[in-house]
Chains A and B, each alone.
Chain A
Amino acid sequence: MGAAILRLRTEIEARFETPLAFRRREAELIPTGIEVIDRLTDGGIPRGNLSEICGPESSGRTALVFAILGQATRRGECCAWIDAAGVFDPASAAEVGVDLERVLWVNCGGNAEHALKAVDLLIQAGGFGLVVLDLGDTPDKEARRIPLASWFRLRHAAERTGAALVAVERQVNARSCSALQVEMRRKGPVWVGKLLRGLTTQAESQRLYRVRTAEFTAVR
């Protein structure tokens, strides 16, 4: 596919004697701080765009996003966590190294519509480096009802304000609106003696028709 596009491009440029004006703008990438994920995503999550991190319960989605959040607050960025189901655990976030003073938490108490409105208001306000929309516990049926236009609107707002918008979901909902999709799959818990010591997960990234996988363990 890539070779065909390249050939077509060369032919058009030769015919019209000018390079094609349209080029995909290279987005700034924010490293997640987890080496395997950074390799998987070619450097991290894109700033000024929408990324989706999805997977079933206990697949390590929250561990990954908390790591990204921790890195962002460590850089001194202001972050917002819009929590549709109200499941954000401040103690877990603090353990990962998230500076809670730089996180605005919006607990929508199970109302996904309110979460969408809140994320829209906050991202339009500007100044946030990372905005997380947590739909991880929103039922599939409800999440699927979010119109594509809403995702486009959020992506456009993120482009305008330069924020990295990350959606945590059970499945991919924004489809073509998102620049990066990371699907998480649980491989299994790590038990040591009488303790739950971690969770091994597999992450799969789809970007520009390339599918890559990586495995990592969230430890406790």
Chain B
Amino acid sequence: MYACLYGRGNLALLVECARGFSPHIEENPPDTVVFDVRGLEALYGTPAQLAKEIERRVGVPANVAIASNPDAAVHAARGFAGITVIDRGQEAARLAKLPLNLLGGSPETAELLHLWGIRTFGDFAKLPPLGVAARLGDEGVELQRLACGQGFRQLREMVDPLEFEAETELEYPVELLEPLAFILSSLLGEICGRLRERALATNEIRLRLTLENGELHETSLRLPVPMLDHKAFLRMLQLDLNGRPPAAPVVKVHLAADHVKPRRTQHGLFVPSSPEPEKLELTVARVRHLVGQDRVGTPEISDTHRPDAFVMRGFSPGQAVATATPVQAKCSLCLRRFRPPRYAQVLVVNQQPVRVSSPTVNGRVVMAKGPWRTSGEWWREDAWNRDEWDVALEAGELYRLYQEIDSGRWFVEGSYD
């Protein structure tokens, strides 16, 4: 089944209304939109009930027609006022009274039909098909088929630009973040509404604020999973703006969202639960706001021998794997790494450290093993070249010390625990 909306001068509104029912839409100028409504019976009931729902939602005066093929629906919407529902097989009978000028075709054919005294769809449909083919050719055959309400064509679907942007120019500059939040909330609601209509979600939101002094303040939210919760987006943007507020009052707000398919996952019954990605992202944003942007995430060890070389990645644990069989844990001596390493004064006797003094690590060395020389990346300015020692102090603590070869300075790198 296909539905058609016809209303003079309201094409944009008609298209928007059609999008609420179907992603398969054909724009058919002038002022006509036809869309596929197959399968909507379960939601809206009979075709008549569906037509009423379409008329209720369109919000402007428009004719609504539902028929078994797109052309019959278009002709009915253009020819009959209000709601028209044509049952399958009844197309020719219902369209018979429509004037022939609705049929289209070339001016020559229209003029010829007029000269023959053909005024309605019904008159044209009654003509013998072989005679029409002999006198009017292929065009005549096609037009007669349309006049009979028979159509087999597919919709020429319009290409949706899928741009999800919204912006607003403010009447007066906004200095505080709280009133700005109201504006952001409304824009985010609009964008999320449009994404929802198309069954899409977003994984990146970009905010561009034009400031009173002409500068731009830009920020973006990159999400590890597709989301569509405008309240969560608003909270994340608020946290971001709180941490890095605009330098001047805001005069224009522009928001854009990338579109992606929504996340669909099937959780296993026997796999451990993991945090909901949407909730987790907001929580991580809050923690970042608390402790700092680059202090929260998953450490990824870099492929180098440089001590303490890692990069912080966003936390995205993914789907848990099935429960592993329990194994004996490995109990290893671990390092608690001081960041930055603590500068220390070390007394060396016979090339062995015998005493360590620093504000936090103090004591006589009872056992020292080393030195273990490590160096690397000599071609870089931040090359490392040092001697490492494992030492035990008299109180029993175990530390890793190192001495920079170039400067001769000593540091406590961390404690073994």
Contact = CB atoms under 8 A, between A and B. Distances in A.
A59 B274 contact: no
B405 interface: no
Given A71-B329, A78-B275, A199-B398, A58 B415 contact: yes
Contacts of B417: 57-63, 136
A100 B299 contact: yes
Contact of A87 (B273, B292, B392, B414): B414
A105 interface: yes
A56 B397 CA distance: 8
Contacts of A189: 367, 392, 398, 416
B287 A128 contact: no
Contact of B291 (A106, A125, A127): A106
B272 A70 contact: no
Given A77-B320, A125-B280, A100 B416 contact: no
A70 B332 CA distance: 11
A23 B324 CA distance: 33
Contacts of A103: 298-299
B369 A76 contact: no
Nearest to B400: A196
A146 interface: no
B334 interface: yes
Nearest to A217: B331
Contacts, number: 201
> DSSP majority for the B interface?
mixed
Nearest to A111: B291
Interface in A117-176: 117-118, 121-122, 124-129, 136-137
A106 B287 contact: yes
Contact of A66 (B284, B310, B334): B334
Contacts of B283: 121-122, 124-125
B335 A101 contact: no
A50 interface: no
Contacts of A78: 272, 274-275, 317, 320
Given A58-B397, A100-B301, A136 B292 contact: no
A218 B299 CA distance: 24
Contacts of A93: 334
A92 B332 contact: yes
A35 interface: yes
A180 to B, nearest CB: 17
Interface of B: 271-276, 279-280, 283-284, 286-287, 290-292, 295-301, 308, 310, 312, 315, 317-318, 320-324, 326-339, 367, 369-370, 390, 392, 396-398, 414-417
24 contacts: A34-B329, A58-B398, A70-B330, A71-B326, A75-B272, A76-B321, A78-B275, A78-B317, A90-B299, A90-B300, A92-B335, A94-B301, A97-B329, A100-B298, A104-B296, A109-B291, A109-B295, A114-B290, A118-B287, A121-B287, A136-B417, A195-B369, A217-B331, A218-B332
